């Protein structure tokens, strides 16, 4: 028993260390300079001026932590050799009209590295205005981008950043060309990246409840998460979740700090969602043999899945409703694995 408690204690410490890497302070900051290509955006046929409203060094694009000598954490700061605005602007004469102004409110690259691969994720939102021959400015709207890509471990960090930048720049050039040609409603992709007339990025707060019913159980999930505006037909979010399940002979509560919620937008009103993740919990036994239950049977290890179709209008707040299925596989020490399937009813509010 003491050995088991010691094992649980060690695993909890490892979990906390993985969840909060800031326990180990970063001692030194290294700088990595990466030069993005600006060739794609230079082709834009109108004047494009750019202003940077970030509270950062004008050359800053990313920071991540790496280990030196396999132990010491060091902040790796990623900069461009020129201010970020230089990679968006073109060199046309300033007296050419109409001209356009791009306001960079956020532009950040998240770098992550595992044993077998590297990944980079880009988040950006930028306002767009039109300038006419009288130098009058008309605000058009705001761009949102959320791009991510995985790379092989053998690829250099510079290659990963440049590859994702080129992918973003190509898509942004295409979207920008559509916006200035006033054909936004007819472009399926651009409507996810551009919000006409919107001036600020708005995160939505979701508070969601799933009610489950199966042949031998019933239960409820409570989820909460902040969500960036939808920037693609497919996107992923990571709610925190609390779960309660009642199986007759036992009641279980569980939680997860990071559930994967995959979304696919069917149309402007409906979303398909696939939720899955590991849950750690505790059991309360109600059967007649409760006194014979061991301490180890207190713990619940569960992998949960659910698929649902929800009514969730694009770019609108309010109530959300959905139906679907849930599946779960549970393991309790000294017990056979448990597999359950049930129907679910979802109700949420998007602020």
pTM of the model: 0.69
Q: How many domains does the chain contain in total?
A: 2
Convert 118-129 to b/e letters by CB count within 10 Å (16 or more is b): bebebbbbbbbb
Looking at the predicted structure, is the pLDDT value of residue 167 above 80? yes
pLDDT of residue 17: 44
Least trusted range by pLDDT, from 165-174, 181-190, 270-279: 181-190
Residues 164 and 244 in one domain: no
Strand runs labelled E in the chain: 28-33, 47-52, 60-68, 72-79, 99-113, 117-131, 137-152, 194-196, 204-214, 218-227, 234-237, 240-246, 250-256, 260-265, 270-285, 299-311, 318-331, 338-350
Q: Would residue 273 count as lying in a domain?
A: yes
Looking at the predicted structure, is the pLDDT value of residue 7 above 80? no
Count CA atoms within 13 Å of residue 225 on its CB side: 20
User: Which position has the higher pLDDT, 165 or 7?
Assistant: 165
User: Which position has the higher pLDDT, 93 or 195?
Assistant: 195
Q: Tokens 């050799």 correspond to what residue?
A: 81
Looking at the predicted structure, is the pLDDT value of residue 112 above 50? yes
pLDDT of residue 103: 92
- Residue 260 has phi, psi (to 5 degrees) of -90, 120
DSSP H stretches of helix in 181-271: 190-193
Give percent of the chain above pLDDT 90: 19
Q: How far apart are CA 200 and CA 183, in angstroms?
A: 22
Count Cβ atoms below 10 Å from residue 235 Cβ, excluding itself.
19
Q: Would residue 3 count as lying in a domain?
A: no
Residues 240 and 287 in one domain: yes
Residues 190 and 121 in one domain: yes
pLDDT of residue 90: 80
Residues 113 and 53 in one domain: yes
Residues 263 and 313 in one domain: yes
User: Which position has the higher pLDDT, 40 or 204?
Assistant: 204
The CATH number for 154's domain is 3.40.50
Residues 164 and 27 in one domain: yes
pLDDT in tens, 29-76: 678 888 888 777 777 778 888 899 998 889 998 887 776 655 667 778
Residues 182 and 226 in one domain: no
Q: Would residue 15 count as lying in a domain?
A: no
Looking at the predicted structure, is the pLDDT value of residue 325 above 90? yes
Give percent of the chain above pLDDT 70: 84
Residues 104 and 211 in one domain: no
- Distant-in-sequence contacts of 136-141, Cβ < 8 A, 24+ apart: 137/101, 139/197, 139/199, 140/179, 140/196, 140/197, 141/179, 141/194, 141/195, 141/196, 141/197, 141/198
- Terminal-to-terminal C-alpha distance of the chain: 48
Looking at the predicted structure, is the pLDDT value of residue 12 above 50? no
Q: Would residue 287 count as lying in a domain?
A: yes
Q: Is the peptide bond before 148 cis (omega within 30 degrees of 0)?
A: no
The CATH number for 228's domain is 2.40.160.20
Q: Determine the Cα angle at 270 with ends 267 and 275, to 5°.
A: 120
Please identify, among 148, 177, 196, the residue that sits at the C-terminal boundary of a domain: 196
Q: Would residue 180 count as lying in a domain?
A: yes
**DSSP characters over 287-303:** STTGGG--GGGGEEEEE
Count CA atoms within 13 Å of residue 112 on its CB side: 9
Q: Would residue 6 count as lying in a domain?
A: no
What are the structure tokens assigned to 24, written together?
């180990």
* Average pLDDT taken over every residue of the chain: 81
Please identify, among 159, 175, 196, the residue that sits at the C-terminal boundary of a domain: 196
pLDDT of residue 345: 95
Residues 250 and 180 in one domain: no
Residues 247 and 336 in one domain: yes
Q: Would residue 8 count as lying in a domain?
A: no
pLDDT category at 113 given cuts 50, 70, 90 is: confident
Looking at the predicted structure, is the pLDDT value of residue 291 above 50? yes
Q: Would residue 12 count as lying in a domain?
A: no
Residues 159 and 216 in one domain: no
Residues 160 and 226 in one domain: no
Please identify, among 160, 176, 196, the residue that sits at the C-terminal boundary of a domain: 196
Q: How far apart are CA 147 and CA 169, in angstroms?
A: 11
Least trusted range by pLDDT, from 4-8, 217-221, 241-245, 346-350: 4-8
Range of the structural domain that residue 273 is part of: 204-350
pLDDT category at 211 given cuts 50, 70, 90 is: very high
pLDDT category at 22 given cuts 50, 70, 90 is: very low
User: Are the CB atoms for 349 and 320 separated by under 8 Å?
Assistant: yes
Tell me what the mean pLDDT of segment 168-182 comes to.
Answer: 83
pLDDT of residue 16: 43
């Amino acid at each position: 028993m003491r050995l088991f408690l010691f094992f649980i204690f060690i695993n909890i410490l490892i979990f906390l260390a993985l969840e909060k890497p800031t326990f180990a302070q970063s001692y030194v900051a290294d700088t990595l300079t990466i030069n993005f290509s600006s060739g794609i955006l230079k082709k834009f046929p109108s004047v494009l001026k750019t202003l940077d409203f970030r509270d950062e060094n004008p050359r800053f694009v990313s920071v991540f932590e790496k280990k030196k000598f396999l132990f010491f954490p060091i902040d790796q700061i990623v900069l461009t050799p020129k201010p970020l605005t230089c990679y968006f602007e073109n060199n046309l004469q300033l007296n050419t009209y109409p001209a356009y102004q791009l306001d960079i409110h956020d532009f950040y690259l998240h770098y992550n590295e595992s044993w077998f691969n590297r990944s980079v994720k880009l988040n950006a939102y930028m306002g767009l205005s039109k300038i006419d021959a009288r130098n009058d400015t008309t605000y058009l709207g705001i761009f949102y981008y959320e791009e991510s890509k995985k790379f092989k471990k053998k690829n250099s960090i510079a290659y990963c950043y440049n590859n994702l930048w080129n992918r973003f720049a190509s898509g942004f050039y295409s979207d920008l060309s559509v916006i200035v040609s006033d054909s936004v409603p007819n472009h399926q992709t651009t409507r996810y990246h551009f919000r006409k007339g919107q001036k600020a990025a708005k995160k939505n707060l979701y508070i969601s409840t799933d009610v489950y019913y199966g042949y031998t159980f019933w239960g409820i999930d409570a989820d909460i998460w902040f969500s960036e505006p939808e920037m693609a037909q497919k996107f992923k979010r990571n709610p925190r979740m609390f779960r309660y399940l009642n199986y007759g002979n036992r009641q279980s509560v569980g939680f997860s700090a990071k559930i994967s919620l995959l979304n696919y937008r069917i149309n402007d009103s409906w979303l398909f969602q696939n939720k899955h993740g590991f849950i750690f919990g505790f059991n309360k036994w109600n059967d007649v043999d409760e006194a014979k239950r061991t301490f180890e049977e207190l713990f619940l290890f569960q992998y949960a899945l659910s698929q649902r179709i929800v009514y969730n209008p694009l770019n609108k707040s309010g109530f959300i409703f959905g139906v679907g299925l849930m599946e779960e596989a549970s393991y309790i020490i000294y017990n056979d694995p448990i597999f359950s399937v049930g129907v679910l009813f979802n109700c949420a509010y998007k602020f």
